[in-house]
Amino acid sequence: MNRYKITMQLGDGTYGSVLKAVNRSTGEVVAIKKMKKKFYTWEECMQLREVKSLKKLNHPNIVKLKEVIRENDELFFVFEYMEKNLYELMKAREKHMPESKIRNIMFQIFQGLAFMHKHGFFHRDIKPENMLCKGDTCKIADFGLAREVRSRPPYTDYVSTRWYRAPEVLLRSTVYNSPIDTFACGCIMAELFTLRPLFPGSSEADQIYKICSVMGNPTAETWPEGLKLASQMNFRFPKFVPTPLEELIPHASSEATQLLYDLLAYDPNRRPTASQTLQYPFFMKGIQIPAAMPPPGRSSHGKSSHGRGADAGAGVVKSGAAAGYGSAATGAASGAAASSATGGGGGSGSYGGGGGYGTGGMAAASGGGGYGTSAATGGGGGGGYGASA
């Protein structure tokens, strides 16, 4: 750790703290996650989900783990440094985000997710705090909760931050899989349009209530398995007529709402996979992509395009009609059918398992579901970005 000079603390979470640091010899700025738990052997370190997943995932839209350091029984993860997360990006805005910017962000998230699912992992805690931004580049972070596809149900551990939790998880399904990630992406996409959480539930029951108030209640036709799960819990869905997304997000295009409806489907089998979303009309209008981005279906091991400075995807090209959807930039993505990944997991900060990158110590506002902590304990009322306590 002597190679790095710590400049400030970025966040603090259940499992560790995240520090901003500078490499003394190269001047490179990095983010270092210091684990709170002691680690007495390297074998113990290598069993961490975060290490197992990030060692195998090398993609421009997945935050890069640069090195792992064990020193005096303390464990440190050294990550590439990103400027902010989506939560901070949204909170700082005073007016709606242009749809072109939302398209660019979501395209990159789905690129990273498709790559992850294809290579046998699923995230389990997709939320704005875990999407890191630097310029026009967006990357997925926090793999402390990732599972391998090969791992077998039942899954009983805590899964994802409540506001982004899929209905099947809320109803205690033990066989949920990769569609929980795409449902969470639908919640994030809607939030990018409105700058407010779509489903700011104050408890698990209230979370289902919030989903039903927008999507209507599921039926035997739309989600038979969900009715079985509810019956097993002696739970009755509240009766709601759906609120059209066109009314909730009037400034969103029809292509955007089409994608949102599919991502937020009750039945996980009816949600598109991450790679299938890239084929939607919403992404055919032209996006911005990092110049060095490889096709998402192909591993970039060996020749990493995660380099720092100008190589870190800093050069951005507009795809426009020429590189638009269906080009080499995205064609492979649509063919990279994401496997039926399986996942669960619980909330923590960005940069892996517990950092709270940029949001450490934030408390949810005491009003209507203020947006801040992983625990998301704010009331279920308005759900805007309340000031931190």
pLDDT, position 225? 96
For residue 331, being part of any structural domain is answered with: yes
Tokens of 308: 């720092």
For residue 377, being part of any structural domain is answered with: no
- pTM of the predicted model, to two decimals? 0.73
Q: Which residues define the annotated binding site for ATP?
A: 34
Of 49, 80, 111, the one marking the end of a domain is 80
Domain CATH number, residue 109: 1.10.510.10
For residue 255, being part of any structural domain is answered with: yes
Tokens of 244: 């059209």
For residue 63, being part of any structural domain is answered with: yes
**Closest to 340 in 3D by CA, of 181, 223, 224:** 181
- The catalytic residues are 125
Of 80, 112, 128, the one marking the end of a domain is 80
Cα dihedral 330→333→335→340 (10° resolution)? -160
| Domain identity same for 58 and 93 | no
> Which DSSP state fits 238?
P
Longest dimension (CA), the chain: 63
Residue 107, φ and ψ in degrees, nearest 5: -60, -45
Residue scoring higher pLDDT (364 or 284) = 284
For residue 222, being part of any structural domain is answered with: yes
For residue 203, being part of any structural domain is answered with: yes
Measured between alpha carbons, how far is 258 from 126 in angstroms, rounded to an integer?
21
For residue 35, being part of any structural domain is answered with: yes
- Any residues with CB less than 8 A from the CB of 42 and at least 6 apart, and which? 70
Q: Residue 144 belongs to what domain range?
A: 84-335
Q: Which residues define the annotated binding site?
A: 34
Q: What is the mean pLDDT of residues 94-106?
A: 96
| Domain identity same for 68 and 98 | no
Domain CATH number, residue 73: 3.30.200.20
- How does pLDDT run across 128-157, given as a tens digit for each residue? 999 999 999 999 998 654 444 444 455 444
- How does pLDDT run across 318-374, given as a tens digit for each residue? 333 333 333 333 333 333 333 333 333 333 334 543 333 333 332 333 333 333 333
Residue 119, pLDDT > 60, answer: yes
**Closest to 259 in 3D by CA, of 159, 110, 92, 133:** 110
Q: How much is the mean pLDDT over the chain?
A: 76
Measured between alpha carbons, how far is 59 from 119 in angstroms, rounded to an integer?
11
Q: Which residue has the tokens 């967006």?
A: 138
| Domain identity same for 163 and 65 | no
| Domain identity same for 235 and 312 | yes
For residue 274, being part of any structural domain is answered with: yes
| Domain identity same for 285 and 322 | yes
- 310 to 33, 116, 220, 265, 307: CA distances (angstroms): 24, 25, 53, 40, 8
Residue scoring higher pLDDT (195 or 313) = 195
Residue scoring higher pLDDT (167 or 334) = 167
User: How many distinct structural domains can be found in the chain?
Assistant: 2
- How does pLDDT run across 21-51, given as a tens digit for each residue? 999 999 999 999 999 899 899 888 887 766 7
Rounded to the nearest 10 degrees, the angle between the axes of helix 99-118 and helix 328-335 is 50
Measured between alpha carbons, how far is 243 from 248 in angstroms, rounded to an integer?
7
